[in-house]
Amino acid sequence: MKLLIVESPAKAKTISKYLGGDYKVVASIGHVRDLPKNNKKAIDIDKGFKPHYEVTKGKDVVLAEIKSLAKKASEVLLATDPDREGEAIAWHIAEAVNLKSPQRVVFHEITKEAVTEALTHPRKIDQNLRRAQEARRVLDRLVGYDLSGLIWKKVRYGLSAGRVQSPALRILMEREREIRAFIPETFWVITADTETPKKEKILFTCEKEPRDKKEVDTILEEGNKKAWIVADVKETEVARAPRAPFITSTLQQAASSRLGFSPSRTMSAAQKLYEAGHITYMRTDSTNLSQAAQAQIFKLIESEYGKNYLSPRTYAKKSKNAQEAHEAIRPTHAVKMSAGLTPDQKELYQLIWARAISSQMTDAKTLRTKISANTTDTSLPNFAANGSRILFDGWLKADPGARGEDVNLPALTPGESLKLLELKTEEKQTEPPSRYSEAGLVKELEKRGIGRPSTYAAIIRTLEDRGYTTKEGRSLKPTDTGDVVSTFLEHNFMEYINDTFTAEMEDKLDDIALGTREYEETLEKFYKPFLKDVKSKEKIDKLTTLGDAPAEFKCPLCGKDMIWKLGRGGKFMSCSNFPECLGARTAEGKVIEDAKPIGKHPVTGEDIFVLDGRFGPYVQLGEKTKENKKPRKASVPKDIKPEDVTIPIAEKLLSLPRVLGNHPTTNEPITANIGRFGPYVVHQKDFRSLKTDDVYAIELPRALEIFAEEKKTRRGRRKI
């Protein structure tokens, strides 16, 4: 028996159908090892950025089964996906189960022909590809860990940054700033409803869009009192060439614009189609079609549409590092016009099929018509009507969704009279640049060389999961959190998140895959200066890193300039003289009233504030100043609204923490308080939650009873 190891159970099921009883096909179910979450254990920088891998949770059973089967097998073949990620998974499996001489087989489509052919050409694991994936993983971990740690200190706890997600966020923020800075202008669209001598209606639009109302009135006045004629007729025959077969990025773009799919949704459906053997591998940057595939497509075109529709073509590769051994995304069997189990899979397959077939077809021929109209003395700006119609459908026969609608205009000749029915005007305003859609961002990332095809969906998903962007319709809009994080990184780490640096680093990682660059040298040249820069930024002042607020907003208390900050409720403006002054405004410019005291403490005479913090609203005794850096604070319970907090309630809340007395055994104090997870008592770092006892009324004897009970801990939570 021979053992064949693939990644997914679906792929294993499909391949098992093609192979006889000589093969046992099992799935690793994705990655089997990864870097631990503890970054200090994950990578040994001093030993050449050596990663320390741990078996992924739940994969012990999978690896045990593979190891058991491998001992009985005459040969072990690793058939994970045909990219650097798949190469890495193959290596991890071999390392984890200690395979002595594993063989690697690669196929780009799951068909009987492709699988059986691949099995006749086994090879060793490509260490260059594997190291390239490892370099990317290690680099992303180091950058994310160091930048995120700094952001926690300087902006807000829990935020993150990444080597590729941060440049993508910067692109979205650059567009957002353009939108904010945009000043709309008023203009007028002028249209002329006309009728030909044959009673054919035709609408002309003024090619000039006046900004001045007086000019609009002049055009209306002149146009209404003069005769109209056809000034010119131009007909141009235009050839529309088909587009290249899909690569990962163009598939995501087309699926977004034509089907409304997000990149993640597209890749999920494509993965299922690939595993079922319907399409070739869906992570590729090559537009190449194999000779066998082309032969299938040619035969189909001739039989379905006719020989005059066939036009064999090759397309230039999109990426300079595209691997021509890989293919474009195409149907594995051209004759199959429909495939897939779900509506998403069926729609996506049809899109892939149409694009692949049409790529080998003749140009479509379109007749574009432009008719110009004016008054007899041509004193007005030019008015025009545009139309188009298909003369020969060509490749559009296979891909009618790309056709568009014909706009037929009547046959007119220059000098022919026109009857003006009505001149209309519509006042409009110029629009700011539009926000990026998911498809638009993918296209922009590809154009700038940021990320790689397999990472685009993950980049967009990460930005949404982190709360840095939100979707408005199909548009990606940065949130206040995304704004602040991007601003911080742009002010302090622009060198590492600009297009040039990010694209060059991607090229260097590709060079490792090609074997022209060394793993350790590449990481060392980047990481040492990067770490030095991060450490130097630890000294910067927290507030000034978040950017200046608009100049028109001044502190509501002292009148000084405001600075952007980020709180639990989002972005707001804080006085630049903080902590001496507590003036604050919302992002819209309204004064934040809770920055003012609600009254004075009846005993100490200090001001009491109700504020909003990382873990929710809280009361604070006294102002935070240089002399009083840590004023007394107490959380506001969830059942009390911040606006309902009175002086007596605040006094009660500020009575915590309460020292109940000393423990009779240790003579150390026992304290009652409220924390992030609710009320508790504590003795020598032994925290016990209060389930039924009142934290404001509990006394020492009851606390001792609680400590005498066996401690219950949250499952998987570290004991404090």
Q: Any idea what the Cα angle at residue 490 is, between residues 489 and 494, rounded to 5°?
A: 100
Query: Is the same domain home to 552 and 649?
Result: yes
Q: Mind listing the pLDDT tens digit for each residue in 536-549? A: 887 765 544 556 77
Query: Is the same domain home to 556 and 644?
Result: yes
Amino acid at 720: I
Within a domain: residue 286?
A: yes
76: β partners: 3
Q: Is 293 exposed, middle or buried (0-12, 13-18, 19+ CB in 10 A)?
A: buried
Within a domain: residue 73?
A: yes
CB 13 within 8 A of CB 79: no
Q: Mind listing the pLDDT tens digit for each residue in 484-512? A: 888 888 888 888 888 888 888 888 988 99
Q: Which of 41-45, 87-91, 246-250, 621-625 has the lowest mean pLDDT?
A: 621-625
- Across 620-639, average pLDDT: 81
- Catalytic residue, from 23, 53, 157, 281: name it: 281
CB 254 within 8 A of CB 246: yes
| Residue 716 clears pLDDT 50, i.e. is over it | no
Query: What CATH number corresponds to the domain at position 236?
Result: 2.70.20.10
The whole-angstrom separation of Cα 120 and Cα 137 is 32
The whole-angstrom separation of Cα 75 and Cα 306 is 49
CB 373 within 8 A of CB 385: yes
CB 34 within 8 A of CB 56: yes
CB 477 within 8 A of CB 469: yes
Within a domain: residue 717?
A: no
User: Where is pLDDT greater, at 629 or 42?
Assistant: 42
CB 479 within 8 A of CB 587: no
Query: Is the same domain home to 175 and 191?
Result: no
User: Where is pLDDT greater, at 210 or 455?
Assistant: 210
**At which of 537, 555, 575 does a domain end?**
537
| Residue 325 clears pLDDT 70, i.e. is over it | no
pLDDT recorded at residue 243: 94
CB 110 within 8 A of CB 14: yes
Within a domain: residue 76?
A: yes
> DSSP 3-state assignment of 219?
helix
| Residue 194 clears pLDDT 60, i.e. is over it | yes
The structure tokens listed for 143 are 């950058």
- Across 294-311, average pLDDT: 95
pLDDT recorded at residue 151: 85
- Across 671-676, average pLDDT: 84
Under the banding of pLDDT at 50, 70 and 90, the label for residue 466 is: confident
Within a domain: residue 320?
A: yes
Query: Could you give the residue ranges of the DSSP H alpha helices within 466-546?
Result: 480-497, 499-514, 519-537
**At which of 329, 358, 387 does a domain end?**
358
**At which of 537, 557, 585 does a domain end?**
537
Under the banding of pLDDT at 50, 70 and 90, the label for residue 162 is: confident
Query: Is the same domain home to 6 and 100?
Result: yes
The structure tokens listed for 172 are 């979205």
| Residue 434 clears pLDDT 80, i.e. is over it | yes
The whole-angstrom separation of Cα 77 and Cα 12 is 13
Taking Cα atoms as reference points, which of 235, 229, 237 lies closest to residue 383? 229
The whole-angstrom separation of Cα 330 and Cα 358 is 11
CB 264 within 8 A of CB 470: no
User: Where is pLDDT greater, at 156 or 303?
Assistant: 303
The whole-angstrom separation of Cα 126 and Cα 137 is 17
Query: Is the same domain home to 662 and 649?
Result: no
pLDDT recorded at residue 300: 96
pLDDT recorded at residue 319: 56
The structure tokens listed for 557 are 């208390």
Query: Is the same domain home to 616 and 678?
Result: no
- Across 33-52, average pLDDT: 85
Within a domain: residue 718?
A: no
Q: Which domain holds residue 463?
A: 136-181+442-537
Instruction: Give the strand order in the sheet containing 686-689.
Output: 658-662, 669-675, 678-683, 686-689
281 classed as catalytic: yes
- Across 93-109, average pLDDT: 90
Under the banding of pLDDT at 50, 70 and 90, the label for residue 631 is: confident
pLDDT recorded at residue 717: 41
Q: Mind listing the pLDDT tens digit for each residue in 581-616? A: 767 777 767 776 555 788 899 888 899 988 876 566
The percent of residues in the chain predicted with pLDDT above 70, rounded, is: 93
- CA quadruple 391, 396, 398, 400: dihedral positive or negative? negative
- Across 81-88, average pLDDT: 90
Query: What CATH number corresponds to the domain at position 55?
Result: 3.40.50.140
- Across 434-462, average pLDDT: 89
Taking Cα atoms as reference points, which of 164, 163, 130 lies closest to residue 513? 130
Query: Is the same domain home to 235 and 380?
Result: yes
Under the banding of pLDDT at 50, 70 and 90, the label for residue 715 is: very low
CB 64 within 8 A of CB 98: no
Q: Specify the number of domains making up the chain.
A: 6
Query: Is the same domain home to 236 and 377?
Result: yes
Query: Is the same domain home to 33 and 13?
Result: yes
| Number of other CB atoms surrounding residue 31 within 10 Å | 16
679: left (phi over 0), alpha (psi -120 to 50) or beta: beta
Query: Is the same domain home to 450 and 473?
Result: yes
Taking Cα atoms as reference points, which of 31, 98, 35, 104 lies closest to residue 66? 98
pLDDT recorded at residue 323: 46
Query: Is the same domain home to 209 and 162?
Result: no
Element (H, E) at 291: helix 291-304
pLDDT recorded at residue 613: 65
Instruction: Give the strand order in the sheet containing 562-567.
Output: 562-567, 570-575, 584-586
Q: Any idea what the Cα angle at residue 326 is, between residues 321 and 330, rounded to 5°?
A: 125
pLDDT recorded at residue 540: 63
Within a domain: residue 715?
A: no
Residue with tokens 């401690």: 711
Residue with tokens 């097998």: 73
Element (H, E) at 91: helix 84-96
| Number of other CB atoms surrounding residue 198 within 10 Å | 9
Within a domain: residue 482?
A: yes
| Number of other CB atoms surrounding residue 35 within 10 Å | 18
The whole-angstrom separation of Cα 453 and Cα 130 is 17
The whole-angstrom separation of Cα 460 and Cα 443 is 12
The whole-angstrom separation of Cα 557 and Cα 577 is 10
R_g of the chain computed on alpha carbons: 34
Taking Cα atoms as reference points, which of 305, 217, 270, 350 lies closest to residue 81? 270
pLDDT recorded at residue 322: 46
Query: Is the same domain home to 484 and 521?
Result: yes
Calculate the average pLDDT of the chain: 87
Which residues, other chains included, contact 669 with Cβ-Cβ below 8 Å and sequence gap of 6+?
A: 659, 660, 661, 662, 663, 683
pLDDT recorded at residue 543: 44
| Residue 568 clears pLDDT 60, i.e. is over it | no
| Residue 320 clears pLDDT 70, i.e. is over it | no
- Across 673-700, average pLDDT: 87
Q: In Å, how far are 2, 67, 79, 557 from 72, measured between CA atoms?
A: 9, 9, 18, 79
Query: What CATH number corresponds to the domain at position 146?
Result: 1.10.460.10
Under the banding of pLDDT at 50, 70 and 90, the label for residue 170 is: very high
pLDDT recorded at residue 541: 57
pLDDT recorded at residue 617: 80
Q: For 139, phi and psi rounded to 5 degrees?
A: -60, -45
